[in-house]
Amino acid sequence: MATKDEKKTKATEYGAGQIQVLEGLEPVRKRPGMYIGSTGPTGLHHLIWEIMDNSFDESMAGFGTEIDLHLLPGNMISVTDKGRGIPVDMHPQYKISTLELVLTKLHAGGKFGGGGYKVSGGLHGVGASVVNALSDYLKAEVKRDGQLWMQEFKRGIPQGKVKAIGKASGTGTTITFQPDKTIFETIDFDFDTIIEHLRRQAYLTKGIKLTISDERVPEVKHRYGFYFEGGVASYVRHINRGKEAKNANVFYVAKFNAEADMDVEVALQYTEEYHESVHCFANNITNPEGGTHLVGFRTVLTRELNTYARNKGYLKEKDQNLTGEDVREGLTAVISVKIKDPQFEGQTKAKLGNPEARTAVEAVFGESFRIFLEEHPRDAEGIIGKCLLAAQARRAARAARETVLRKGAFDGLSLPGKLADCSSKDPSISELYIVEGDSAGGSAKQGRDRETQAILPLKGKILNVERARLDKMLANNEIKSLIIALGTNIGEGFDIKELRYHRIVIMTDADVDGAHIRTLLLTMFYRHFAELIHAGHIYIAQPPLYRVNIGKNFKYAFSDEEKDKLVKELIEESGKAKAARAAKGGKVVEKEEEEETETLAVEVGAEESETEEVEVGGVRVNIQRYKGLGEMNPDQLWETTMDPKTRVMKLVTVDDAKRADEIFDILMGADVAPRKRFIQTHAKTVKNLDI
């Protein structure tokens, strides 16, 4: 028998036996996040994008202009294209069918040697095999050489050889798969997410016919078709629908740059909005972090508008040049490049790194935009006027910002008087609760952990920043207090390293006014502090909606469904407690002698809560509906909403920046008609409507 020391040595030794080699698709199932980003809804939908990318690659290569996607019962996905079809013959090196090779080996595909595709979105050649690895079931069907070929897989393992199952005309590939529910948090696909993503892909691939149908509920089928001849110019018009344009003619150019061996497509239009909306793509893959093609576009845009403004006398010799910030206010643009060997950062392709993309965009866009400005003087006048107004507002905002900071400096960098700061100076453990009203602020200040939790109460509703420039924002006392409390500054002076709290928690009432205030705050963070959202610093507190009492026994519920469930649980617990006391010879409290229901300490000035007393099976149940946070006493607010051990918070993320941009514009923009349509469309699906 091994001694204690020998066992310890064996447990801690590090040798050849401790080195694991993951074969085939094992690495994907072991670490799925490395290949699809996450195992949440984003990663789930990424499976569809990977398969669709392969079909789009065929289309961009000139083979097949039709792609069909079907959502089938059981959350199965089927994607069919009319491309050349994945080869099924024996691979000379691996001695297995090429179809099986593509679906079972990482980095196997026609995208490396240059003979299969001129341009490709699926750079790494892992898309199809990753989907196969993360699917409970996958079936590949190929039309090729007059035959219909088929092979099935289970969790990446072939369930037989490739076989011909019949005659077939034409060519193409159909991939049908069902995600593995043991891998993903959910396998429920969101039809709206799929529609938004694939509509964008149809804009980026001129002349392709795309059909999407939801057949999960046979009785209720939804079917969409997309076909756009205008390319990214149509995409820009789609983004700007309902907005007032400064240049009626959308600028558009699509040219091949021989020097970089690259296709460049750019479209832009200015609107009356105060923010920019620029979308970058390389081989139809969205690049949310931009890249070299975005750098080239921005350089040319600033240079050409300054040159035109000076040549036409809009800028005098004494005037300063327009800055990049000036020329991007109100800009909507789409930049798309088709490049032979794209260099992306990671499998999710967030940023393009090819240096030649910058020079190609500069060459193609620069010449065409210069001609556009000369040939469309009225459009050019509208664009320049917008930029000059932005420059004027920027100077006013800078003065206002400096005033805010200068005041802080004179006061010894004092924080807003209404801020109850935490004692910790370590941002990584510090939290800022933005609270609606003084009543809730008072409870939060008394119930908080003073070491790590700071409280900033807001008075009323802050300014809607969707309709205001920075100078007007800084004149608003509530926004000014929030900016000083955050410590990051704003606009061109923003520095995320100066953030004083790594958790910023929006804590508002569970009613219409609370939702409105929350939306106003989220609009401000999205438009002016987007880096805080992307870095995972913004949260939404989830206070309970109900407090359910039976005697002194109580629980909190966060939804109507949870409330009904808790009522049943508490009644069962009460019955068991009475039975236990009776069994021990104790006194069973009858209904008329029941213990008094605990009353709540409600602060003066707080709204009265809605309290309902019901009798279920002879048991009195007290149900309190919280209308505001101020109704809770400090202890209750702490244990339900602020205690890190028990609280529930939602992390604010932006999975699709373009869709988020549209929603904020619809809900908070100046145009009423889109907002009315949005309300009419979603009115029937809203929950917890408070009228």
Distance, C-alpha 424 to centroid of its chain: 31
* Phi, psi torsion values for 585, nearest 5 degrees: 85, 10
Q: What share of the chain is helix, strand, coil (3-state, %, to 5)?
A: 40, 20, 40
Q: Does residue 60 sit in helix, strand or coil?
A: helix
Question: How far is 377 from 473, CA to CA, in rounded Å?
Answer: 33
Residue 81 labelled as part of a binding site = no
Question: How far is 98 from 86, CA to CA, in rounded Å?
Answer: 8
Question: How far is 72 from 608, CA to CA, in rounded Å?
Answer: 49
3-state secondary structure 427-490: HHHCEEEEEEHHHHHHHHHHHCCCCCEEEEEECCCCCCHHHCCHHHHCCCHHHHHHHHHHCCCC
Q: Does residue 404 sit in helix, strand or coil?
A: helix
Please pick, among 511, 531, 564, 655, the residue that the annotation labels catalytic: 511
Residue 190 labelled as part of a binding site = no
3-state secondary structure 505-539: EEECCCCHHHHHHHHHHHHHHHHHCHHHHHCCCEE
CA terminus-to-terminus distance, the chain: 75
Do the beta carbons of residue 342 and residue 352 sit within 8 Å?
yes
Do the beta carbons of residue 193 and residue 200 sit within 8 Å?
no
48 by Cβ neighbours in 10 Å (0-12 / 13-18 / 19+) ranks as: buried
Do the beta carbons of residue 387 and residue 309 sit within 8 Å?
yes
* Torsion over CA: 121, 124, 129, 135 (sign): negative
Please pick, among 180, 356, 436, 466, the residue that the annotation labels catalytic: 436
13: CB partners within 8 A, 6+ apart: none
Question: How far is 455 from 415, CA to CA, in rounded Å?
Answer: 12
Question: How far is 479 from 481, CA to CA, in rounded Å?
Answer: 5
Q: How many distinct helices (H) and strands (E) make up the chain?
A: 21, 23
Residue 215 labelled as part of a binding site = no
CA nearest neighbour of 268 among 355, 365, 174? 365
Do the beta carbons of residue 645 and residue 660 sit within 8 Å?
no
- Tokens describing residue 609: 């809560």
- Tokens describing residue 13: 């030794």
Strand duo 331-339 + 453-458: pairing: unpaired
Please pick, among 136, 367, 513, 562, the residue that the annotation labels catalytic: 513
Any catalytic annotation for residue 141?
no
477 by Cβ neighbours in 10 Å (0-12 / 13-18 / 19+) ranks as: middle
Do the beta carbons of residue 222 and residue 214 sit within 8 Å?
yes
Any catalytic annotation for residue 671?
no
614: CB partners within 8 A, 6+ apart: 620, 621, 623
Question: How far is 514 from 435, CA to CA, in rounded Å?
Answer: 10
Please pick, among 141, 431, 509, 665, the residue that the annotation labels catalytic: 509
- Tokens describing residue 243: 């907005």
- Tokens describing residue 114: 């240059």
Q: Which residue ranges make up the annotated binding site?
A: 436, 509, 511
Report the binding-site residues for Mg(2+): 436, 509, 511
Give the residue numbers annotated as catalytic, written as ranges. 436, 509, 511, 513
